[in-house]
Amino acid sequence: MTTKRQSSRLAAQSSTNDTAVASNDVETPQKKQKTDPTLEVESKPVENDDAKSSELQVGDEIPDIVLLDEDENEVDLKKVAASTKYLVIFAYPKASTPGCTRQVCGFQKNFQFLKDSNTTVFGISSDSPKAQKNFITKQGLEYSLLSDPSKKLIGPLGAKKSPSGIKRSHWIFVDSVLKVKSIGISPEVSINSAKEEIENFIKKEKSKESKGEGKEEQKNDSKDESKD
């Protein structure tokens, strides 16, 4: 009987020890650390300050950039701007699409007025010269379309749209200096406002000339009076 009781105690003690060992083997759950919300970083696209600072502003001169036209001829924009009073450049997202077709046709409608006003006009997009040539032929355009696949002019002009698009826009250079910058506009606004802006520049120019002539006449009259 004594032996049996001793065996029972030993068995109970062994069972208790096994349970203790098993409990030691189990990992204690760690408390979840609270995250400081101020340390969380939200993934957002970072604006390139250098690109933004290099964007042309009103009052800046046209950059020295050469692009290909629809016939793969090199067009030196600085030289072109120096050879004309007004230079209009308009950007469109993609050749031969509905909105862009309205835009190029609108500038074609105003082409004679622009030509008579000593204005050179170019359309520009990232399309290839071949696509631009096809666009010109289909729409019967009398002005050139520039190809800028790397956006080396479209970017500085501020019409580059992330990630790879183009904002419909137009710019007017007067005596090689940027005077009008219209970004992200409709085809109709681009067509009509560009024409109106050229008309306004012409009126201002004529007004200056007439004032200059008036002053010259006054000087001559004063000279004549002093002689008398």
- Cα separation, 207 vs 225, whole angstroms: 27
Radius of gyration of the chain (CA): 37
Give the pair of three-digit tokens for residue 196. Answer: 């109106």
- Cα separation, 209 vs 117, whole angstroms: 16
Max alpha carbon distance in the chain (Å)? 158
Catalytic residue, from 87, 100, 153, 194: name it: 100
- Cα separation, 192 vs 206, whole angstroms: 21
Give the residue ranges of DSSP H helices in 64-186: 77-82, 98-109, 111-116, 129-139
Q: Tell me if 182 sits within 8 A of 101, measured CB to CB.
A: no
- Cα separation, 168 vs 63, whole angstroms: 20
100 is annotated as an active-site residue: yes
- Cα separation, 70 vs 96, whole angstroms: 14
- Cα separation, 40 vs 76, whole angstroms: 49
Active site residues: 100
